[in-house]
Amino acid sequence: MTVKMIAVDMDGTFLNSQQDYDRETFNQLYQQMKQQNVRFVVASGNQYYQLKSFFPEIAEELSFVAENGAYVVSEGKEIFTGEIDSNTIHEVLTILADFKEGHTILCGKNSAYVAETEPDSFVEHGEKYYYRLKKVSNLFEVKEDTLFKFALSFPVEQVGEVLEQLHQALGDKVIPVSSGHGDVDLIIPGIHKAHGLLQLQELWGIKNHEVAAFGDSGNDIEMLKHAGYSYAMSNGQPKVKVAAKEIILSNDEKGVLVKIAELLGN
């Protein structure tokens, strides 16, 4: 088997429940990846600036498919940036106003934005995933940025129902996907993690069957279907397990690192 690219989701996949990973083991594996010319790609719904912080020594060497594919950066260079036009942003914000239990972060290239009226608990939750998060008087005012995603939060038990309602309310303007916990992302149609990986594959001449991908949530499904080698975490959502070719140990059992070691021939 020849794997030339390894793409990992972060929350619930690469990261354990303490939002960390076994850095020593990973660093050893990363040195092996470099020796074997295997690219390591971080593919997450989270913000680029947050993702970089997990790899302080090597962030400038890595590639990031951030914001569910809307922002792709390789070795510090911007490869792809999606954009939602301002009319659609306004339409979606108007529709979201009817979802009383929901909270919204508007995500852009330079920063993410949250309304001042949101509760502090939600803003603190947002700051874990968005290192650049600005408070604004309302989200309709955000103009000086390239906007490409909505990050929503709902009570966990409502997510299934809310996904259905959002699908109906939004049509094909933006696509709702679950990203774990009570979080739902609204993404640009056709711009998902698999699309992001494809941008990098074209850059490096890597075929789909040479890609290994790891995930646990609804926003990983396209990526898992796209990759020749696809792994769902045992802690993953049921439909994610169906999309993957193999189910591996959970995120708290270092499932990704165990499998990467295997892929590298250890």
Q: What share of the chain is helix, strand, coil (3-state, %, to 5)?
A: 40, 25, 35
Told to judge if 172 belongs to the known catalytic residues of this protein, a careful annotator would answer no
Q: How many residues does the chain have?
A: 266
> Concatenated DSSP letters for 57-123?
TTGGGSEEEEGGGTEEEETTEEEEE----HHHHHHHHHHHTT-TT-EEEEEESS-EEEETTS-HHHH
Structure tokens that stand for 18 in this block? 């303490």
Contact 144, 169 (CB under 8 A): no
- Which residues are bridge partners to 39 per DSSP? 5
Active-site residues, by number, are 9
